[in-house]
């Protein structure tokens, strides 16, 4: 029986063939360059971000990607459009479940501005992450949304008969990975660089049997930019 509350080997037991899921963060924006929290606000890719998206397209070109989903936010949609063009895909598909988390009162602010305006939340953020921000999307909401997003990714893979890629955001990617371990808390965090790739390989063991799951890549940077990987958000 497939679980609806976790993304585990049973969840993938109905896949007909081995499948790789490539989850990538969007390319850089001016807000990223300024260490400004974006959340649900809209920013377009800057020149660096467009170059990163081209590198991502080159990396994915030999990965057998049949479908490409993306957050409908501009920075993710623009990244996905560049990737789709590079892969020769007809179109990338918007998926609201891949949107960035709602960052509440921190949205649009730099970390220096947050420290000045909200000193208590800023201090608590260091050990509670977004659970320290009263009006931000909660960990439980993010967990449920990530499970739903995986349902869409799995359905896309089954429909396409091949590998699937998705373009999302730093905060949401935390949870797309986290739910595969059954983790419902923010800590520990991991770095998500712009256009960093996370690859989950799922190998089926036979009809109805639990699948073998392995994270083959975590924050792989196609452009070789490890030295300039930004903080998590």
pLDDT tens-place string over residues 88-117: 998 899 999 999 999 999 999 999 999 999
**Residue 12 in domain:** no
State how far the Cα of 72 lies from the Cα of 63, in Å rounded to an integer. 23
- With respect to residue 233, please indicate whether it lies within any of the assigned structural domains: no
Q: What is the largest CA-CA distance in the chain?
A: 56
Q: Mean pLDDT throughout 140-155?
A: 97
Q: pTM score, two decimals? A: 0.93
In terms of residue numbers, what domain contains 117?
19-223
Query: Cα angle at 199 between 183 and 80, to 5 degrees?
Result: 110
CA distance 59 to 77: 18
> In angstroms, rounded to a whole number, what is the distance separating the alpha carbons of residues 84 and 32?
23
- Tell me the CATH number at 168: 3.40.50.1240
- Would residue 2 count as lying in a domain? no
- pLDDT per residue over 19-42, tens digit each? 999 999 999 999 999 999 999 999
Does residue 5 belong to any structural domain of this protein?
Answer: no
Whether residue 6 is contained in a domain is answered as no
In a domain, 184, yes or no: yes
Domains identified in the chain, total number: 1
Cβ–Cβ < 8 Å for 59, 167: no
- Give the burial class of 34: count Cβ atoms within 10 A of its Cβ; 0-12 exposed, 13-18 middle, 19 or more buried: exposed
Q: Are 150 and 76 in contact (CB under 8 A)?
A: no
Answer whether residue 74 is part of any domain. Answer: yes
């Amino acid at each position: 029986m497939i679980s609806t509350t976790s993304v585990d080997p049973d969840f993938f037991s109905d896949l007909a063939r081995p499948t790789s899921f490539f989850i990538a963060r969007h390319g850089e924006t001016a807000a990223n360059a300024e260490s400004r929290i974006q959340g649900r606000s809209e920013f377009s890719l800057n020149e660096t971000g467009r170059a990163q998206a081209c590198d991502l397209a080159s990396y994915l070109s030999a990965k057998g990607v049949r479908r490409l989903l993306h957050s409908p936010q501009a920075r993710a949609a623009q990244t996905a459009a560049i990737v789709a063009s590079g892969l020769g895909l007809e179109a990338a598909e918007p998926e609201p479940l891949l949107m960035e988390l709602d960052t509440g009162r921190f949205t649009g602010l730099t970390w220096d501005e947050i420290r000045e305006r909200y000193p208590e939340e800023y201090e608590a953020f260091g050990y509670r992450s977004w659970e320290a921000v009263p009006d931000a999307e909660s960990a439980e909401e993010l967990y449920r949304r990530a499970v739903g997003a995986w349902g869409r990714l799995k359905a896309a893979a089954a429909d396409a008969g091949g590998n699937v890629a998705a373009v999302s955001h730093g905060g949401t990617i935390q949870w797309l990975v986290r739910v595969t371990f059954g983790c419902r808390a923010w800590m520990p965090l991991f770095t998500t660089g712009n256009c960093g790739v996370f690859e989950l390989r799922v190998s089926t063991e036979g009809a109805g049997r639990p699948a073998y799951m392995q994270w083959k890549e975590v924050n792989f940077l196609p452009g070789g930019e490890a030295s300039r990987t930004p903080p998590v958000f």
